Structure 1
Amino acid sequence: MIDLRALRDSPDRLRASQRVRGEDESAVDRLLDFDSRHRAALARFEGLRAEQKSVGKSVSSAAPEERESLLTKAKELSADVKQAEAEAGELSAEVDRLLHEIPNIVDEDTPEGGVDDFRVLEHVGTPAEFDFTPRDHLELGELLGAIDTDRGAKVSGARFYFLTGVGALLELGLLNLAMQQAVADGFTPMVPPVLVRPETMEGTGFLGAHADEVYRLEADDLYLVGTSEVPLAGYHADEILSADALPNRYVGWSSCFRREAGSYGKDTRGIIRVHQFNKVEMFVYTHPDNAREEHERLLGWERRMLDKLELPYRVVDIAGGDLGTSAARKFDCEAWLPTQGRYRELTSTSNCTDFQARRLNIRFREDSGKPRFAATLNGTLATTRWIVAILENHQRADGSVVVPEALRPFVGHDVLYPVK
């Protein structure tokens, strides 16, 4: 949620942000209008209530001939106060609703445009040139006895799968490697719940434009998370953190669930776009003045993981029109997929400034003793999709796959060989 007082002082900043995102600028004027009306209604309510109290005190000491008129006045004021309070309450609710609809203000360095207008910051590594026709990850996974999408569909439907044999070992090894790196870098490991209350999902910004991507259990009024960012953001809701302990860095391992609404016909083959997957996610609470530097550190930790897996990738700065509701800026790392001849996203890291903290009421106390909202950031350190890039980039002509050296202690194999 944006800072309403900052909006009053600098409305053009939010208008510019809305333009970069491709959102409606008039939302800014609607919010300012309702905010002005709410403040006027609140002032009227408080004035009437003060007058009501004054008249009430006068009744007991009034002369008999004045008491009747004062009682009539008090009755009229009571009705006026109730009406003014109701009006102020309705306007407050509308201001709150509009505030929750407006996305975070984008960072001034965020590129303008939509999904195709990202800025490439760097290429790392050189895509392999094969002297044979490379197989895609699903064909390799089936040869290795690692991926079974047919039985996944039989059991659960489209976009579900089994990781079997070395496929399961690859995923466990990958996630364990990520957790080991994060803990060595000072993160507290977490296994969070994957079902959360509506206020937690709403607080992180996932029930707005992206609500159709979220699975909801209506009977229990709970949501399945699409990332452990959600429960980790809710972990300190309604708390005041110790400023001396900032940054608070957590790394969560969880299963994640996404409906993939609107993706009909996209990536239907294999495990690139699926309904359930596992992920290791970094999450940080920090001082807002340090958020940009922390964002660069999260990107650095993601890049180190990709380097360990010997994958060619590029780093991109996501355009405003492709940012999520909570993100002010986002960097993606995209790995090269030989069979698609293009880069595909493996990691994202977002700086959400104090947007989520305002919605979840997460603060810290400054040296002056005054509470201030924290900044929150997140970043992917490993996920099931990485298996796609590992298989395709490290394959050999006979269908075997070389395991990256950093993964071998976790997987227990140097090379994965076809079983059929």
Structure 2
Amino acid sequence: MIDLKLLRAEPDLVRQSQISRGDDPAIVDQVLAADAANRTALQDFEAARAEQKSLGKLVAQATGDEKQALLARTKELSAKVKQLQADADAAAATATELARSLGNIPEPGVPAGGADDYAVLRHVGTPRDFAAERVEVQDHLAIGEGLKAIDMERGAKVSGARFYFLTGIGARLELAILNAAMATAIDHGFSPMITPTLVRPEVMSGTGFLGKHADEIYYLEKDDLYLTGTSEVALAGYHTDEILDLEDGALRYAGWSACYRREAGSAGRDTRGIIRVHQFHKVEMFAYVRPEDAAEEHARFLAAEESMLQALELPYRVIDTAAGDLGMSAARKFDCEAWLPSQERWMEVTSTSNCTTYQARRLRIRERSEAGGTEPVATVNGTIGTTRWLVALLENHQQADGSVHVPEVLRPYLGGVERLEPLA
């Protein structure tokens, strides 16, 4: 949730944020009106409550008819206070609900527009010239089937479309990527965690995932729990309602979990193979940091992600995502996209987001201020390894004979194997 003090002081800034995200700026005036109504209702309640307390003292001192009149007034005022409190609570709930519908304010420099309006920051590595190498490019599924690493047919038989089995070397390769990712995260100062994949509604809502993309999330109605699409959700909820000590620097966690996404809006897109599936695994970095250090922490996350992509010897580019393609909670998001030879396009394999104080405000995660009060902290998240990386690895490292080169960083997790050979 954005800072209501900022909204009151600079409503035009928030309106412009809504416009840059492609959202309705009129909601700003609705939030302001609801906030004003809330403050008025609260003032009326507090005034009546103060009068009620003063009457209590007078009743104790009065006698006779005066006391009876004061008691009657006290009874009347008690009902009024009760109603005013209900009005104030209702106004507060309305103001909060409307305020939570506002996305985070993009950082200065974030491109305006939608999914196609990103800015390319850099390219790293050069895609192979397969034609010059006389390699007939196969897609990751054909390669994976040749290695007996991916079984889509039985995945669909067991669970339906967009499910799969990773078999043999496919399972080992995913574990190798995730273990290497966790090791890299640890080297960058993150503490490893295995996280829950079912969370309560208040945690899912607190992270900002129940906005425009709520239909992407699996919900278990009987249990009132959500399946997470990233361990970011559980890690964000980890310190809910706590006051953190960031005196010695950020708190950094790396969560390993299964992830689930309905892919509700992706009909007909990437239906072949494991690019866009309902279940996958990943290692997610997450940090709680002071707001003034969040941008620097964001750069740290991106550097960790790039170090993994470089270790996997993948050509990639980094893009600065446009405001209209940010999630509700992100103020800035950098995507790393690996080259996909079979489709001759860039494919997102990881991203990192600076959520500033947006999630922490919703989840009531604070630190002590110098003045003795509390202030919300900032949160940063980013993926450092996931199942989709198998796609980029298999395609970029395929050889003419159907084998696949294994980058050195993965070999310790695969018994030293340098090349994956197709099976008859």
Write the deviation string for residues 105-145 of structure 1: whole angstroms up to 9, x where unpaired. 11111110001111100011111111232000000000011
Match of 1:256 in 2: 259
Q: Is the 8 A contact 1:243 1:366 kept in 2?
A: no
The answer to whether the aligner puts 1:85 opposite 2:88 as a matched pair is no
Write the deviation string for residues 341-360 of structure 1: whole angstroms up to 9, x where unpaired. 10000010000001111111
**Deviation at 1:63?**
4.6
Q: Distance in 2 between matches of 1:81 and 1:309?
A: 66
Q: Distance in 1 between matches of 2:89 and 2:198?
A: 32
Match of 2:242 in 1: 239
Match of 1:313 in 2: 316
Q: Distance in 2 between matches of 1:28 and 1:391?
A: 48
Per mean C-alpha deviation after superposition, the further-off stretch among 334-343 and 197-206 is 197-206
Alignment of structure 1 residues 199-210 onto 2, 5 Å: 199-210=202-213
Per mean C-alpha deviation after superposition, the further-off stretch among 346-355 and 362-371 is 362-371
Q: Distance in 2 between matches of 1:61 and 1:334?
A: 77
The AA in structure 2 aligned to 1:134 is V
Q: Distance in 1 between matches of 2:194 and 2:371?
A: 35
**Deviation at 1:368?**
4.0
Per mean C-alpha deviation after superposition, the further-off stretch among 128-137 and 328-337 is 128-137
Q: Distance in 1 between matches of 2:70 and 2:6?
A: 44
Q: Distance in 2 between matches of 1:100 and 1:262?
A: 23
Unaligned regions of 5+ residues in structure 1, if any?
none
Q: Distance in 1 between matches of 2:410 and 2:84?
A: 66
**Deviation at 1:174?**
0.6
**Deviation at 1:245?**
3.2
The answer to whether the aligner puts 1:46 opposite 2:46 as a matched pair is yes
Q: Distance in 2 between matches of 1:386 and 1:60?
A: 75
**Deviation at 1:41?**
1.2
Match of 2:333 in 1: 330
Alignment of structure 1 residues 260-279 onto 2, 5 Å: 260-279=263-282
Match of 1:388 in 2: 391
Per mean C-alpha deviation after superposition, the further-off stretch among 380-389 and 102-111 is 102-111
For normalisation by structure 1, the TM-score amounts to 0.97
Q: Distance in 1 between matches of 2:52 and 2:225?
A: 45
Match of 1:61 in 2: 61
**Deviation at 1:76?**
2.4
The AA in structure 1 aligned to 2:151 is D
Q: Is the 8 A contact 1:113 1:319 kept in 2?
A: yes
Alignment of structure 1 residues 14-413 onto 2, 5 Å: 14-130=14-130, 131-412=134-415, 413=417
Q: Is the 8 A contact 1:159 1:273 kept in 2?
A: yes
Q: Distance in 1 between matches of 2:366 and 2:249?
A: 11
Write the deviation string for residues 130-171 of structure 1: whole angstroms up to 9, x where unpaired. 123200000000001110000000011100001111111110
**Deviation at 1:389?**
0.5
Write the deviation string for residues 54-87 of structure 1: whole angstroms up to 9, x where unpaired. 2333234335233343333223222222221121
Q: Structure 1 stretches (4+) deviating beyond 4 angstroms?
A: none
Q: Distance in 2 between matches of 1:252 and 1:125?
A: 28
The AA in structure 1 aligned to 2:423 is V
Q: Distance in 1 between matches of 2:227 and 2:193?
A: 17
The AA in structure 2 aligned to 1:365 is R
- Aligned in 2, Cα 1:182/1:60: closer, same or farther, shift over 3 Å? closer
Q: Distance in 2 between matches of 1:280 and 1:270?
A: 21
Query: Equivalent residue of 1:207, what SS?
Result: coil
Q: Distance in 1 between matches of 2:404 and 2:291?
A: 44
Match of 2:420 in 1: 416
Q: Distance in 2 between matches of 1:370 and 1:78?
A: 33
Q: Distance in 1 between matches of 2:87 and 2:102?
A: 23
The AA in structure 1 aligned to 2:382 is G
Match of 1:7 in 2: 7
Query: Equivalent residue of 2:100, what SS?
Result: helix
Q: Distance in 1 between matches of 2:334 and 2:73?
A: 63
**Deviation at 1:367?**
4.0
**Deviation at 1:317?**
0.4
Q: Distance in 2 between matches of 1:240 and 1:74?
A: 40
- Aligned in 2, Cα 1:97/1:305: closer, same or farther, shift over 3 Å? same
Write the deviation string for residues 200-221 of structure 1: whole angstroms up to 9, x where unpaired. 1111111121211111122211
- Aligned in 2, Cα 1:374/1:163: closer, same or farther, shift over 3 Å? same
Write the deviation string for residues 221-251 of structure 1: whole angstroms up to 9, x where unpaired. 1111100101111111111111223211111
